[in-house]
Amino acid sequence: MPDNLLGGRYLVTELLGEGGIGVVYKAEDTKAHTEVAIKFMIQEPATEVKTQQIRQRYFAREIAILSKIRHPGIVALYDSGFTEIGLPYFVMEYVVGRTLLDILKEGPLILGRAFNLLKQIGSALNCIHQHNAIHRDLKPENIMIVTKEGREEAKLLDFGIAKILEDTPSASVFMPITQVGHILGTVDYLSPEQWQDKPLDPRADIYAFGLIAYEMLTGEHPFRGGLSIGDTMMRHLEEEPQPPSSLDKEIPILLDEVILKSLAKDRNNRYSTVIDFLTDFEEVLAEIYRRSMSYLSNPATETLMYEIVDFDDEE
């Protein structure tokens, strides 16, 4: 753990988590009298110089992206600096809640709850894209759900491998596989173009967003369970996902087209913006509502429903 006193104001208290590039601690801001989270870049004595340079580049990029984005669904950046030994760090909003990953372990979400969270996640993701950046590691583990006054609020976390699109392309997006020891992204959520080492755009995030929507509705990931990284890769490149409604009869068939379009292998057939995805999703919900109201307002239907209810009451 780094020294407890940092920047003359931050009292580091406990470890929160560690990734391939950084480690996050909980701390107290003694001036503002609030709790914050502080991320330090990992520095290992035996690490190769090139590997450390890659980490430094990603760490600096994360600070750059968070410093120019302000959105209620994105963890806020407060401060940044260097420790006494020159280790970079940044201070951000401390978020208390449950990850979407933990919530999904309990099973699929009802349609209304799923759409409410997707709207919030999608709004934050669209904000990132509007700032000419992509997240590149969108997954349930990086989405925190906070409950305030009975309402769920989603927050996007961990921009450690996010990319500013005007960045000069590296020789390979997979350089960190060998240099840092981690695949650039999480294999279950990598888009086909990421597996194929193609230049990326926001549609890579939309693919991951579609996978999250699929999991929310069905409780299952369409491509998880590969016996190896190569097997997982081939599933993303070649295997067509089952329509969500085939896994759960409660999922409207009308939603199949929306979810599957976001998961198109060819990104040219995918949604170009997350707003387009959300618009189509909401239109399906509106159509379902219109059909249900039409059904309920039909006199013959009302009589039938009354007879069924009356029969049940007599039993």
Active site residues: 137
What's the residue count for the chain? 315
Q: Phi, psi at residue 235, to the nearest 5°?
A: -65, -45
Dist. CA 33–CA 74, nearest whole Å: 22
Q: CA torsion 175→179→181→183, rounded to 10°? A: -10
What's the maximum distance between 2 C-alpha atoms anywhere in the chain?
A: 79
Burial of residue 45 (CB within 10 Å: 0-12, 13-18, 19+) is exposed
Strands 143-148 and 5-6, bridge-based pairing: unpaired
Burial class (CB in 10 A: 0-12, 13-18, 19+), 314: exposed
What is the rounded distance in angstroms from the CA atom of residue 30 to the CA atom of residue 10? 6
Residue 281 CA to residue 118 CA, distance in Å, equals 10
Residues facing residue 80 across a β-bridge: 90
Q: How many CB atoms within 10 Å of residue 249?
A: 8
* Beta strands, E only, the chain: 5-6, 10-18, 22-29, 34-41, 77-82, 88-93, 98-99, 133-134, 143-148, 151-156, 163-164
Instruction: Indicate if the alpha-carbon torsion angle 168, 174, 175, 181 is positive or negative.
Output: positive
